[in-house]
Structure 1
């Protein structure tokens, strides 16, 4: 029953139904907007791939909030106690 579901005459009927539902005047505008959306999507995907290639991969470690070399960050109680 579903073996030959996409025969050419089925696609023709679907196309006719779409034309009747949306009208022949709105279809070119709809196709144009879909094309613009796809172009934007492609450019954004390329930009994301380009960003990933230029930046190093994350190390997987979250920042601990500590200063390098184990020192306490400036402006803490340790700095105030020595004054």
Structure 2
């Protein structure tokens, strides 16, 4: 049976993308940081990713809603814009 990413796991991946810790994510979802680690690992496996960062990248590329959410939620610092100026 193929594993799927749940809405809860998707939310947790997006929170990691915003820089939240496992404990912060757990608090928002009513679970422990250890449980967040387990759920993110399950999402990583379901997506065929090497690690959670890779899982987030796959999720963003595969689901336009994820990218749109992060664009609304994350303010890009001027330092980052300057560091990436050759890529824009």
TM-score by length of 1: 0.32
